[in-house]
Amino acid sequence: MLIPASLDHLDADARQWMQDLLTRLQDQELRLTNQDQELHWRQSKIDKLTHELAVLKRQKFGARSEQYIGEQAQLFEETLDSDLAALETEIEPLTPTRSGQEKRQPKRTPLPADLPRTDIHHEPDSTTCACGCQLKRIGEDVAEKLDYTPGVFTIERHIRGKWVCASCETLTQAPVPAHVIDKGIPTTGLLAQVLIAKYLDHLPLYRQEAIFGRAGLAIARSTLAQWVGQCGVALQPLVDALKDVMLTYPVLHADETPVAMLDPGAGKTKRAYLWSYSVGAFEPIKAVVYDFAESRAGKHAEAFLGDWRGTLVCDDYAGYKALLAKGLTEAGCMAHARRKFFDLFHQHQSQIAGEALEFFGRLYAVEREGAGLSTDERWRIRQEKARPIADESHAWLIRQRQLVPHGSATAKAIDYSLKRWVALTHYLTDGQVPIDNNWIENQIRPIALGRKNWLFAGSLRAGQRAAAVMSLIQSAKLNGHDPFEYIKDVLTRLPTQKASRVGELLPHRWQIEKNC
């Protein structure tokens, strides 16, 4: 900001003072503008979450929830409790705390006296006061946390001694250990057990409530649901970081599978989709991220991939076509093409299908030969051995198509391969691209199996939370980790982990951190 010409008569010192003052005013105005923008964003976020919270509360206490019966009603209730806890957890850091106002804590029911207890002591690093005098222990604070190993409950007694200086009366006490659920009773081991049982073993919370009851303490499913919602919010930054890492790689797999989702307005379920994305099978890391959406529309894939431009291994679903028009390279799935001839052969013993399967077998034999090779060596062996086979099979398909009637099952199988031939053979041009999409199909299989147990998602937010937690669990499995140990360790370290270093807790890096 320049000094107005009307003040040209001032001497140099006065002019400099005036210039500094105007600069400070300009900086202050900029800070106020930024603060106003942040406050507007916070208020908009609070309004959005508060509205969603009010809707969920109406669903929880309204008559509509009575339309569900049996397992539907139980899942709907626990989903609402999880969603409510997640929303409240998201709103809390956005809402400023008034001076002198303390957060109200729910009254905690004492833990059973007959459960075994383990004492964990937290004492100051030094018992010498800053004034030089020796501290004297005058008491202690005890906080109990509930832990669980399959079939057995135990209690951790965290004992924080109180030390005081007789000279200056300074009170010294070890700080309260940070926890993923502030002032909560569960240990991270118990929280990990609940998450693993729900999202890996597919046990609804009402079943876990019964299991815990047989172990000696029936934890209400509403309490379990609150823990799940709070943990989902805490783990989301880690899932976001995993997605960011995934989108730095040039080859990705994509697939989607239908999942039923409750529709509170209709009192029944509707079809939603779980989209799956993973790093290419030949990339140096192993990671999978699930994305839950209300439909199979291509806009969900566009929103997930954003500005990423690489090679996407996928099937012939039209939802990906808009992405291809924006610069993505499509790699087809040879296993999809093979499957059409496989079904034809086993159902009708088609001779043409049998010959087609022989071509596919020869192509896959080359892939097995190059599986352990480098990218360049794999490209070379594909050019030398697979390319001639592909060219021969393409010419054969064209000839056979002229011999079979239109509309027949054989014609449809041949047309699929010919229509997709450029995408199906793209892998021949890039040694980093796999021949098929089986890698991601294997990662989505646990979800398909789990649907038989948990049947449906309770809400859009519940589906998104499930997708996030299952992303971490499945990625941990891909990297050879015990999912329980991984989730437990992550929940333990997250409260004190700097946001800039959250990537150190990602599944493909966790083993290195664990050994350090």
Instruction: Give 84's pLDDT tier (boundaries 50, 70, 90).
Output: low
Q: pLDDT confidence of 64, banded at 50, 70, 90?
A: very low
Q: What are phi and psi of 165, to 5 degrees?
A: -95, 125
**pLDDT band for position 65 (cuts 50, 70, 90):** very low
Cα–Cα distance for residue pair 296/193, rounded to 1 Å = 32
Contact residues for 496 (Cβ-Cβ < 8 A; gap 6+): 178
Residue 454 token pair: 């948990």
- How confident is residue 514, by pLDDT bands cut at 50, 70 and 90? very low
Amino acid making up residue 100: G
Q: Is the pLDDT of residue 394 over 90?
A: yes
Would you say residue 516 has pLDDT above 50?
A: no
Which DSSP letter does residue 186 get? B
For the segment 33-62, the average pLDDT, to the nearest whole number, is: 65
CB within 8 A of 65, min separation 6: which ones? 59, 73, 76, 77, 80, 264
Q: Determine how β-strand 117-122 pairs with β-strand 311-313.
A: unpaired
Nearest residue to 440 via CA among 231, 219, 283: 283
Mean pLDDT in residue range 202-224 = 89
| Dihedral-angle region of residue 34 (phi above 0 means left; psi in -120 to 50 means alpha; beta otherwise) | alpha
pLDDT band at 67 (very low <50, low <70, confident <90, very high): low
pTM for the full predicted model: 0.78
Residues in CB range of 99: below 8 A, 6 or more apart: none
Reported confidence tier of residue 106, pLDDT bands at 50, 70, 90: low
pLDDT above 90 as % of the chain? 40
Compute the Cα dihedral for 477, 483, 489, 493 and give only its sign: positive
* pLDDT at residue 66 is higher than 50: no
- How sure is the predictor about 515, in pLDDT bands with cuts at 50, 70 and 90? very low
Q: Residue 269's Cα: distance from chain center in Å? A: 24
**3-state SS of the chain: helix, strand, coil percent to 5?**
55, 15, 30
User: Across all residues in the chain, what is the average pLDDT?
Assistant: 83
Does pLDDT of 60 surpass 60?
no
Q: Is the predicted pLDDT of residue 68 greater than 60, yes or no?
A: no
Half-sphere exposure (Cβ direction) of 440: Cα atoms closer than 13 Å = 28
* Residue 174, phi-psi category: left (phi > 0), alpha (psi -120 to 50), beta (remainder): beta
Q: What phi and psi values does residue 312 have, to the nearest 5 degrees?
A: -105, 120
The mean pLDDT value for 345-373 works out to: 90
What is the percent of the chain where pLDDT is above 70?
A: 80
